[in-house]
Chains A and B, each alone.
Chain A
Amino acid sequence: MAASIREKQTAALKRMLNFNTPPLKNTTAEPVWKVLIYDRFGQDIISPLLSVKELRDMGITLHLLLHSDRDPIPDVPAIYFVMPTEENIDRICQDLRNQLYESYYLNFISAISRSKLEDIASAALAANAVNQVTKVFDQYLNFITLEDDMFVLCNQNKEQISYHAINKPDIMDTDMEVIMDTIVDSLFCFFVTLGAVPIIRCPRGNAAEMVAVKLDKKLRENLRDARNSLFTGDTMGAGQFSFQRPLFVLADRNLDLATPLHHTWTYQALIHDVLDFHLNRVTLEESLGSEAGARPKKKTKKSYDLTAADQFWQKHKGSPFPEVAESVQEELDKYRAQEDEVKRLKSIMGLEGEDEGAISMLSDNTAKLTSAVSSLPELLEKKRLIDLHTNVATAVLDHIKSRKLDVYFEYEEKLMSKSTLDKSLLDIITDPDAGTPEDKMRLFLIFYITAQQPPSETFSSSQGDLEQYKKALIDAGCDLSPLNYIKQWKAFTKMATTPANYGNSGVKPMGLFSRVMNTGSQFVMEGVKNLVLKQHNLPVTRILDNLMDMKSNPETDDYRYFDPKMLRGSESSIPRNKNPFQEAIVFVVGGGNYIEYQNLVDYTKAKQGKRVMYGCSELFSAAQFMKQLSQLGQK
């Protein structure tokens, strides 16, 4: 499994775009032009991986949505990349009838059923277009890869498999089945693309267990079916050099509700929390400077793509925010130095022009000049990236300052590590200019979740405390319905397991020295404490650690063990394989976020030779999660 999931998915997409033949390595090969048609699912899958320029390089002249009005373009092959739903099939049949393109290459994101295939067949017959349908493929790409080692299941139908949908009290069995099927389908596609059959471990008694059972069954059926098995043959060639199978840990969101609500301090997680960030694209509202006092500021929306090619982003997406600010400053200085170098060459050229005899020196200078000129596009690109990050970081900083997010972060870290609190919670809640009502609600919920004895259950003075808190929250303008749900959840989990321990984390505010260092930088961080994160492990990471290293721990000993390659499934939770695993995939059913992802990445860096991938059924920010909790609390 040397290639990351992103590379594998990109390679699969590129092969599909090349009419499902492996792409040639020729730099100047004759271009074959084609048209790409996708639906919203396909769009979400392709957009983080391939840019429009790359599509053009592969010969795609037009890329269109399936359900838009499309004009006939004869003599051109069309590649379809859609989900096999009813409406899509109908639209394809309509296209066949209207003879829009010369030949059709149909690629379905997940497997298509026989009956739908017959629908297309009959439409093709009716339109006499059977010969035009050149190839039909099942691509098994029903998941979205956002980073080298992070994937989500879907973006379009998030509500169907959201935390709210899985945990709502009035859910019916049929609904649950549908949700489970969707999740299992996507996970199955993921493993097919990865090319490995994992060993599955999951906790007992919740949604994760149901997913694990179904996934195990599906993988087992596919392996048994020797003729059509997806895991044999040349697809496995590259992947099977590692003799170990990966470990697949299924976790449920209910295990740890505090992390999605946590205020964060790393760059990528901050952007996701504070700005509008979807599928690696940030949308900012920028206000242009006002020209006269009376005229209102114009706001424009600008969106930026944060891609794998952006070196700065790759290096710093997990660093704490002050580090990011300094690095942007450094990059800016470096860029200015290079710019000056280019300008200096100009004066050199002027001096050496008259020297006739030294032809070689002249040609040397032209070589230098040519290299400077050819490096100009790189310099421009660098400048663009620096501008991008400057804008993004400034926007984030504005939010931090206005909402005092550093205070929240520090306080929450202290809560989660159960160290002593220097300010009372009530003070922060009643403080009018520290953050939005949402922030306060988040803080209170984390307090409630992590408290060993929640305020309402002990003696009456604490009951009074809870009422006090509630009143303070209502005064600050918060909505209390999430609290109801959290109370229920707390009661439920108290019965089932011991509350999660968040591990030790120390937060050291760096003192004056760093403040002096920072004043030199463009980002003036007065009033914003420079906080340094000490390494700590979130519950998900700890569980992964235990399972990967086969450590014995009361939390994880009770986890179920599934091995699809075994002949008979067993109910035991004793793993057959005693060796520690080298590769793991963590999947959170019910939603995940960047904080957990960052924690896993840090854990992987600390341990040599282990690779961990993170996936979740949906990716939500704290605000979205709060909304779901309040919906649940209102029922």
Chain B
Amino acid sequence: MAVDITLLFKASVKTVKTRNKAIGVGFDSMKDDILKRDRPKNGFSTKAKEVLSNISKLKEFLLQHRKDYVNAGSLISSDLTRMTDSERDQIDQDAQIFMRTCSEAIKQLRTDAEKRVISVQMKEHRGAVLDLVDIYLKGVCKLYSEQRAIRVKRVVDKKRLSRLEPEQRGKVEKTPSEDMERTPHEENNVKPTCMVSVGGVDLWEDNKVEDELSPEEIQMVHSHEQRLALTQTNAVKDLKSLQIEGKVVEISRLQEIFAEKVLQQETEIDHIHQLVVGATENVKEGNEDIREAIKNNAGFRVWILFFLVMCSFSLLFLDWYDS
């Protein structure tokens, strides 16, 4: 276990000071101290620290509103802390812009660092510092994308759930309830309809009992119906596009990975190609050599036969000559 001897160190500093005073060796310590604090702060590290503090602020902000952001399914509509979807979108957008500016700032710092740097160690240090900031930013982005993924997932689930309901009730019952929901809100947002529709239908049913609908009101209702049918298809399209967005993001990530792998394999394929070319050359040469060998063999055989025949003729000649 470590022992903190800082106090011991400070005590020894004091002893050394008194000893120096006794000997008479003095250092003008105070002035230099003050002067030193005016050393120009290195631009790089202040900027890096700024980026870091910004990212921390973003993280705190996200964490603070995380509960509200994710809380999308409460049945009690009078929950005060529930966030509206426009606020959620606002947060999304802001966070994205912020993250983009942060990553650009990091890139900027990196190019700056490459240009101005004097020594190898300094360069390495700065590179590592920027890597650390980058990793931190990625961690915070992951927080954000997790939140967003949860939100999208909930919306998709609700949509799926809401699809089961409308088969029982007619479209008419659904649309006025949506109407009551929609009119105060933006039309681009996807609405959690199921639970709300239950509440809305009750209200509507109450209203219906009281009054007979006048023809103008019926016409108004019809036109509203049409308008809302349009907006509902829009909403479905938006939902689908959200899903597709999620899927596209995934696919792009996967594609990135595959591209990486393909690039890796490129070098190996080049190598194999060279090897194969070498192999075909070798095989060709081998074939040539074999052909030559066959020829030599054949030629050799011819000579041997000729020699044998000559030998036998000479034998016969000698025999004839002798006798």
- A interface, CB within 8 angstroms of B: 12, 15-16, 20, 27-28, 30-31, 33, 35, 56, 59, 61-62, 64, 70-71, 73-76, 107, 111-112, 114, 117-118, 120-122, 124-126, 128, 130-131, 133-140, 192-193, 195, 228, 230, 235, 359, 366, 369-370, 373, 376
Q: Are A140 and B2 in contact (CB under 8 A)?
A: yes
Whether a CB of chain A sits under 8 angstroms from the CB of B250 is yes
Whether a CB of chain A sits under 8 angstroms from the CB of B294 is no
| Residue in B16, B41, B122, B128 whose CB lies within 8 Å of A122 | B16
Q: Are A366 and B27 in contact (CB under 8 A)?
A: no
- Give A192 Cβ to nearest chain B Cβ, in Å: 6
- Give B127 Cβ to nearest chain A Cβ, in Å: 8
Q: Are A31 and B136 in contact (CB under 8 A)?
A: yes
* Contact partners of B124 in chain A: CB under 8 A: 61-62
* Contact partners of A27 in chain B: CB under 8 A: 139
* Contact partners of B140 in chain A: CB under 8 A: 28
Known: A35-B125, A370-B250. A230 touches B6 (CB 8 A): no
* Contact partners of A133 in chain B: CB under 8 A: 9
Report the Cα distance A125→B26, complex, angstroms: 10
Q: Are A31 and B4 in contact (CB under 8 A)?
A: no
How many B residues have CB within 8 A of the partner chain?
Answer: 49
In chain B between 126 and 163, which residues have their CB closer than 8 angstroms to a CB of chain A? 128-129, 131-133, 135-136, 139-140, 143
| Residue in B1, B42, B120, B133 whose CB lies within 8 Å of A235 | B1
Whether a CB of chain A sits under 8 angstroms from the CB of B106 is no
Report the Cα distance A107→B9, complex, angstroms: 12
Q: Are B52 and A124 in contact (CB under 8 A)?
A: no
Report the Cα distance A193→B3, complex, angstroms: 11
Report the Cα distance A285→B247, complex, angstroms: 48
> Can you list 26 contacts pairing A with B, beta carbon distance less than 8 Å?
A12-B1, A31-B52, A33-B129, A56-B131, A56-B132, A61-B125, A61-B132, A70-B121, A71-B118, A71-B122, A75-B41, A75-B45, A111-B3, A120-B12, A121-B9, A126-B27, A128-B27, A128-B33, A134-B6, A135-B6, A136-B5, A136-B6, A228-B3, A230-B1, A230-B3, A370-B250
Report the Cα distance A621→B135, complex, angstroms: 43
Q: Are B125 and A125 in contact (CB under 8 A)?
A: no
* Contact partners of A134 in chain B: CB under 8 A: 6
Interface of B is mostly: helix
Q: Are B42 and A195 in contact (CB under 8 A)?
A: no
Q: Are A73 and B2 in contact (CB under 8 A)?
A: no
Q: Are A61 and B16 in contact (CB under 8 A)?
A: no
Q: Are A114 and B136 in contact (CB under 8 A)?
A: no
Q: Are A16 and B131 in contact (CB under 8 A)?
A: no
| Residue in A33, A71, A120, A131 whose CB lies within 8 Å of B121 | A71
- Give B161 Cβ to nearest chain A Cβ, in Å: 13
Report the Cα distance A128→B59, complex, angstroms: 39
- Give B63 Cβ to nearest chain A Cβ, in Å: 10
Report the Cα distance A27→B118, complex, angstroms: 34
* Contact partners of B90 in chain A: CB under 8 A: none
- Give B73 Cβ to nearest chain A Cβ, in Å: 20
Q: Are A192 and B1 in contact (CB under 8 A)?
A: yes
Q: Are B29 and A125 in contact (CB under 8 A)?
A: yes
Q: Taking each of B8, B9, B36, which has the highest tally of chain A beta carbons within 10 Å of its own beta carbon?
A: B9
Mask of B20-43 contacts with A, CB within 8 angstroms, 1/0: 100000010100110010010110
Report the Cα distance A31→B257, complex, angstroms: 28
Name which residue of chain A comes closest to B251, CB basis: A366
Whether a CB of chain A sits under 8 angstroms from the CB of B276 is no
* Contact partners of A192 in chain B: CB under 8 A: 1
Name which residue of chain B comes closest to A74, CB basis: B42
- Give B9 Cβ to nearest chain A Cβ, in Å: 4
Name which residue of chain B comes closest to A369, CB basis: B254
Name which residue of chain A comes closest to B120, CB basis: A71
- Give A350 Cβ to nearest chain B Cβ, in Å: 14
Q: Are B9 and A56 in contact (CB under 8 A)?
A: no
- Give A198 Cβ to nearest chain B Cβ, in Å: 16
Whether a CB of chain A sits under 8 angstroms from the CB of B227 is no
Report the Cα distance A512→B136, complex, angstroms: 60
| Residue in B15, B55, B247 whose CB lies within 8 Å of A118 | B15
Whether a CB of chain A sits under 8 angstroms from the CB of B56 is yes
Q: Are B119 and A71 in contact (CB under 8 A)?
A: yes
| Residue in B9, B15, B118, B133 whose CB lies within 8 Å of A136 | B9
* Contact partners of B132 in chain A: CB under 8 A: 31, 33, 56, 59, 61
Closest 9 pairs between A and B when the two form their complex, measured CB to CB: A61-B128, A28-B139, A235-B1, A71-B119, A31-B132, A121-B13, A121-B12, A75-B45, A136-B9
- Give A354 Cβ to nearest chain B Cβ, in Å: 15
Report the Cα distance A120→B5, complex, angstroms: 13
Report the Cα distance A130→B11, complex, angstroms: 12
Whether a CB of chain A sits under 8 angstroms from the CB of B222 is no
Report the Cα distance A56→B127, complex, angstroms: 12
Q: Are B13 and A138 in contact (CB under 8 A)?
A: no
* Contact partners of A15 in chain B: CB under 8 A: 2
Whether a CB of chain A sits under 8 angstroms from the CB of B17 is yes
Name which residue of chain A comes closest to B52, CB basis: A30
- Give B38 Cβ to nearest chain A Cβ, in Å: 13
Name which residue of chain B comes closest to A370, CB basis: B250
Q: Are A76 and B121 in contact (CB under 8 A)?
A: no
Report the Cα distance A73→B44, complex, angstroms: 11
* Contact partners of A138 in chain B: CB under 8 A: 2-3, 5
Name which residue of chain B comes closest to A112, CB basis: B5
Report the Cα distance A31→B55, complex, angstroms: 11
Known: A31-B52, A128-B32. A195 touches B1 (CB 8 A): yes
* Contact partners of A135 in chain B: CB under 8 A: 4, 6
- Give A491 Cβ to nearest chain B Cβ, in Å: 46
Report the Cα distance A124→B16, complex, angstroms: 10
Report the Cα distance A118→B15, complex, angstroms: 8
Name which residue of chain A comes closest to B138, CB basis: A28
* Contact partners of B122 in chain A: CB under 8 A: 71, 73
Q: Are B1 and A140 in contact (CB under 8 A)?
A: yes
* Contact partners of B52 in chain A: CB under 8 A: 30-31
Q: Are A366 and B5 in contact (CB under 8 A)?
A: no
* Contact partners of A117 in chain B: CB under 8 A: 5, 8-9, 12
- Give B169 Cβ to nearest chain A Cβ, in Å: 23
Report the Cα distance A418→B259, complex, angstroms: 64
Given contacts A76-B45, A140-B3, 15 further A-B contacts (CB under 8 A): A16-B2, A20-B4, A28-B136, A33-B128, A71-B120, A73-B121, A107-B2, A121-B16, A125-B20, A135-B4, A136-B8, A137-B5, A139-B2, A193-B1, A369-B254
* Contact partners of A359 in chain B: CB under 8 A: 243
* Contact partners of A33 in chain B: CB under 8 A: 125, 128-129, 132
- Give B153 Cβ to nearest chain A Cβ, in Å: 10
Q: Are A61 and B4 in contact (CB under 8 A)?
A: no
Report the Cα distance A196→B5, complex, angstroms: 22
Report the Cα distance A474→B92, complex, angstroms: 83
- Give B113 Cβ to nearest chain A Cβ, in Å: 12
Report the Cα distance A449→B33, complex, angstroms: 70
* Contact partners of A114 in chain B: CB under 8 A: 8, 12
- Give B251 Cβ to nearest chain A Cβ, in Å: 8
- Give B94 Cβ to nearest chain A Cβ, in Å: 19
* Contact partners of B9 in chain A: CB under 8 A: 117, 120-121, 133, 136
